[in-house]
Amino acid sequence: MDRQQDFLKHFLKHQDDLRAFIGSIVRDRHACDDILQEVALVLWQKFDAYDPNRSFGGWARGIAANKIMQSFAKSKRVPVPLSPETIQAVLGAFDEPAPEASEEQEALRRCLGKLPERSRDLIRLRYEESLKLREMAERVAATLDAVHKALSRIRTSLRACVEQELGTG
Amino acid sequence: MNDVSRAEELIQKYLDDIASAEELTELDQLLRRDRDAARLFARLGRMDSRLYGYFNACRARLGLAAEMAKENDPLNIDALRARWLWGRFLDHLWGPTGAILLHMLLLVVLIKFTMMNTTKPEAPAVQVVMEAEAPEHFDEFEKELAPFDEIPQEVPTVTPPESLFLAEKPAEADVQAPGNETDTKIDFAALNMDDSTKSALTMKGLYAGRTGGGRADALADYGGAWGRYTEMSVVRALEWLRKNQGTDGSWGPNKIAMTGLGLLTFLAHGETTSSDKYGQTVEKALRFLLTQQDEKGVFAQSSGQEGSDPAVYAHGIATYAVSEAYGLTRIPSLKPVMERAVQAILDGQQTAGGWNYRFSKTARRDTSVSGWMIQALKSALIAGAENSGIREALEKASADLKSAQNMETGRFGYTDPNTGSLGCTGIGVLCLQLLGHGAEKEARDGLQALREAKVEWDPARENAWPLYEWYYITQAKFHHGGQTWSSWNAEFARVYVKQQNEDGSWPAASKWESSYGPVYSTTLAALTLQVYYRMLPTYKPQVTRPEMRTNDVEIRVY
């Protein structure tokens, strides 16, 4: 019981970040969720071998990276656009200290609230309705390039806002 | 650092899933060799994931399961369900973490364990009762106008569209049966809506630009740098109009005129009675107008406004709106309504071809009044009105307009050549263009005079009807095209987009116009911003990129 509670405590704390790491490499949302599930299981199975002095997040991400490579090797259905060395580099970047997930989520919520409505609409189309860019372009009757540039600017703004909120800017 | 800014560019494309193969390779290499690039990738990747998670916190797995089931995913459905329950438990631990929940979770963990060890996973034996999910709500925060996302002051370069837009799929016929107020003899429910909206007829010719794909093409062709912003403005205006429509389907305060303008605004967007989002709005507006037509065919306010000067405008605008509605929807019962209204206009025309208040046949003719009559007649003609004499009436109207032009300045006058104004010049030029005389001297002189026109939003200014004027001037310049159009577009589009209120409406641009209320300014502004696709330009050669074309377009002015 204790062991399981312990695991859950660690896992839940890092779940979001783990999903972020996997999602940054595996762009297909469903595939990303699948892999996250599989990784969760492996982590649990291997929890006995986990060294508490080590960062749980780092350990979990390492396992996730392997899982990603495995999935890609098994079925090309999970496209992995980045090479193994690059994934290592990304791993390294994720290892660096980052704000607490819940804090970042809160900051993001506040920053989303500050967006003008039309920007929020675009964000919603992309992240809530999960539209592809071509579908978004259709929906708002704009060019794909225009939509992309708008989304890029909004993301940049949001990032700056979040960093400001967290005092890490 | 140059690498990092290039990395940012590539990462943004990557996040939108539009990076090409070459760009992916380049990104891959950049991330490998540049530490800062990798850091940036991690930061942006985290935010991307958080954004997704923000909207899909508790629904991700549900959606996953449902969608996979729908798409007949080769994965075993039972295995999916098992994973689904597992996932939902994990999610729910963010909420209340009672001991009971934990126990249940651990139970599932054990069960899941057993399942995964068998070769063929089965659905768990334990049926777990979940607590109702609290849907993710947006908290209402104070909205400061953020410094980000300002409309850029310098005009960005225009890049050609990259993707093939699909033409808008016609909506399913979704007309609700008429409500209680069936004074009107129109039975929308009985109509064969399906055929009409799928028929290419409705969106061909002059209105071909009003479909989703048509709008996109037109914005790409004629929108310049601002085409990317104007459409969102328009859509927000439509939303505002929809929300502020009266229960009787009208807008006010001058109900007939404003409802006519409102209807025109939706029609310009290609919305009809069977549109998914705005079908109800359009239908209610149409129904209202129909109740306002008297036995002589005139759209007249019954509340003592009869005989007062502005009433003739109401009739012109309403006829224009109803004619266009018939043209787009082909609802059979609209035809007699249109034709009766048209007849009133024809009967009201003066011998010299003009019109005046109250359809009076005095010496006074009025360019502003004529403007609406001509638009109405033209629209009815295209829609197939069978009144005899429409073409002749329009020809006479052309001659009448020309008679109001000042030979020296090129300006068209309000009542005669000496009362010239830019607004009336806009009316004169547009009408001549619509009537097939856009290439002639009078129109060209008028366009020359319109060079002085400026877009200045000044709510304190008196003695001016700027929104009204710009509605015409914008169209006149649009139909002419070239540099005339592009420099005007750069000016007006930017101001209009910037002036729009947060709620989607527009403020008045002058003191006098403010007395007409927000529907007036919003509909005129939105109609003006829809110039790109409202009508195909009658006098410029089609910008052809055959591989981009989404609609079969045949332009026939007559």
What is the DSSP track for A63-127? HHHHHHHHHHHH-TTS---S-HHHHHHHHHHHHS----HHHHHHHHHHHHHHS-HHHHHHHHHHH
Residue B466: predicted pLDDT: 94
Whether residue B235 has pLDDT greater than 80 = yes
In single-letter form, the type of residue at position B293 comes to: Q
Say what the pLDDT of residue B481 is.
86
Q: For chain A, what is the mean pLDDT?
A: 87
Per-residue burial over B514-523, b if 16 or more Cβ lie within 10 Å, else e, is eebbbbbbbb
Statement to judge: residues A152 and A131 lie in one domain: yes
- pLDDT number for residue B311: 83
Q: Are residues A86 and A147 in the same domain?
A: no
Please give the pLDDT value at position B402. Answer: 94
Distance CA B88, CA B555 (A): 57
Last residue within a domain, chosen from A62, A95, A128: A95
Out of A95, A123, A141, a domain closes at A95
Split at pLDDT 50, 70, 90, the class of B539 is: low
| Domain, as residue range, for B34 | 2-117
User: pLDDT at position B35, please?
Assistant: 92
Which percentage of chain B shows pLDDT scores above 70? 67
Answer yes or no: do A90 and A7 share one domain: yes
> Do B7 and B37 form a contact (C-beta atoms < 8 A)?
yes
Other residues' Cβ atoms within 10 Å of the Cβ of residue B556? 9
Residues 6+ apart with CB under 8 A from B496: B230, B233, B455, B506, B525, B528, B529
Highest average pLDDT, of B195-209, B416-430, B537-551, comes from B416-430
> Are residues A14 and A88 located together in one domain of the fold?
yes
- What average pLDDT does the segment B179-205 reach? 39
Point out the domain boundary residue: A80, A95, A110: A95
> Per-residue pLDDT tens for B92-124?
444 444 444 444 555 555 555 555 554 444 443
Do A88 and A160 belong together in one domain? no
Which of A19-23, B338-342, B415-419 comes out lowest in average pLDDT? B415-419
At residue B242, the pLDDT reads 95
pLDDT band at B196 (very low <50, low <70, confident <90, very high): very low
Highest mean pLDDT out of B204-218, B221-235, B310-324? B310-324
Is residue B506 within 8 A of residue B499, CB to CB? The reply is yes
Interface probe for A, chosen from B20, B27, B51 (most Cβ of A below 10 Å), is B51
Q: A65-79, A144-158, B290-304: lowest mean pLDDT where? A: A65-79
Q: Using pLDDT thresholds of 50, 70 and 90, give the confidence band for residue B134.
A: very low
B156 domain-assigned: no
Please report which confidence band the pLDDT of residue B293 belongs to, taking 50, 70 and 90 as the band edges: very high
Most confident of A94-103, B167-176, B387-396: B387-396
- Interval B226-249 mean pLDDT: 90
pLDDT at B229: 81
CA A67, A73, A74, A77 torsion: positive or negative? positive
Residues B295-321: what's their mean pLDDT? 77
The pLDDT value recorded for residue B169 is 28
Q: Is the confidence at residue B68, as pLDDT, over 80?
A: no
Determine the Cα–Cα distance for residues B540 and A122; give it in Å rounded to an integer. 33
Q: Which has the minimum average pLDDT: A36-40, B215-219, B448-452, B528-532?
A: B215-219
- The confidence score (pLDDT) of residue B121 equals 42
- Nearest CB among A40, A117, A142 relative to B228 is that of A142
Residue of A nearest to B236 (CA): A118
pLDDT score of B219: 83
Residue B172: is its pLDDT beyond 50? no
Q: Are residues A18 and A78 in the same domain?
A: yes
Q: What is the pLDDT of residues B400-433, one digit of tens each?
A: 999 999 988 999 998 888 888 999 999 999 999 9
> With an 8 Å Cβ cutoff, are A157 and B146 in contact?
yes
**Of B174-178, B216-220, B298-302, minimum mean pLDDT range:** B174-178
Q: Is the pLDDT of residue B248 over 90?
A: yes
Note the pLDDT tens digit of each residue in B15-64: 999 999 899 999 999 999 999 999 999 999 999 999 988 887 644 444 33
Residue-level pLDDT at B266:
96
Residue A85 and residue B163: Cβ atoms within 8 Å? no
Interface test with B, best of A118, A130, A131, A154 (most B CBs within 10 A): A118
pLDDT(B184) > 50 = no
Q: Which of A14, A17, A27, A37 to mutate to test the interface with B (most CBs of B within 10 A)?
A: A37
User: What is the total count of domains within chain A?
Assistant: 2
Residue B91 lies in a domain: yes
A105 shares a domain with A69? no
Residues A155 and A118 in one domain: yes
Contact yes or no for A93 and B42 at CB 8 A: yes
Residues A19 and A83 in one domain: yes
- Say yes or no to pLDDT of B182 above 70: no
pLDDT at B190: 38
| Residue B273 forms part of a structural domain | no
B306 has pLDDT over 50: no
Task: Examine residue B537 and state whether it is found in any structural domain, yes or no.
Answer: no
Is there a single domain that holds both residue A75 and residue A108?
Answer: no
Same-domain status, A75 and A105: no
CATH of residue A81? 1.10.1740
Q: What is the pLDDT of residue B204?
A: 56
Instruction: Say which residue, B546 or B82, is predicted with more confidence.
Output: B82
Total structural domains within chain B: 1
Q: Looking at the domain assignment, is residue B392 inside a domain?
A: no
Q: Given its phi and psi angles, is residue B255 left (phi above 0), alpha (psi -120 to 50 degrees) or beta?
A: alpha
The closest CB to that of B228, out of A108, A146, A158, belongs to A146
Nearest C-alpha in A relative to B75: A34
Phi-psi region of B307 (alpha: psi -120 to 50; beta: other; left: phi over 0): left
Tokens coding B37: 């690039």
Residue B330: band (very low, low, confident or very high) from pLDDT cuts 50, 70, 90: confident
Question: How far is Cα B4 from Cα B39, in angstroms, rounded to an integer?
Answer: 10
pLDDT at B557 over 90: no
Task: Work out the pLDDT band at A5, boundaries 50, 70, 90.
Answer: confident
pLDDT bucket at A152, cuts 50 / 70 / 90 = very high
Report chain A residues whose CB lies below 8 A from the CB of B53: 16, 19, 105
| Whether A138 and B32 lie within 8 Å, measured CB to CB | no
Residue A141 has what pLDDT?
82
Burial class (CB within 10 angstroms; exposed 0-12, middle 13-18, buried 19+) of B341: buried
- Binned at pLDDT 50, 70 and 90, residue B213 comes out as confident
Chain B nearest C-alpha distance from A114 (Å): 5
The residues near A70 (Cβ < 8 Å, ≥ 6 apart) are: none
State percent of chain B over pLDDT 90: 45
Range of the domain at A113: 101-166
- Say whether pLDDT at B73 is over 80: no
* Residue B132 buriedness (CB in 10 A; 0-12 / 13-18 / 19+): exposed
Residue B38 lies in a domain: yes
- Indicate which CATH number applies to the domain containing A105: 1.10.10.10
Would you say residue A117 has pLDDT above 90? no
Mean pLDDT of chain B: 74
d(CA B20, CA B282) in angstroms, rounded, equals: 42
State the average pLDDT over residues B481-492.
89
The pTM for the full model equals 0.52
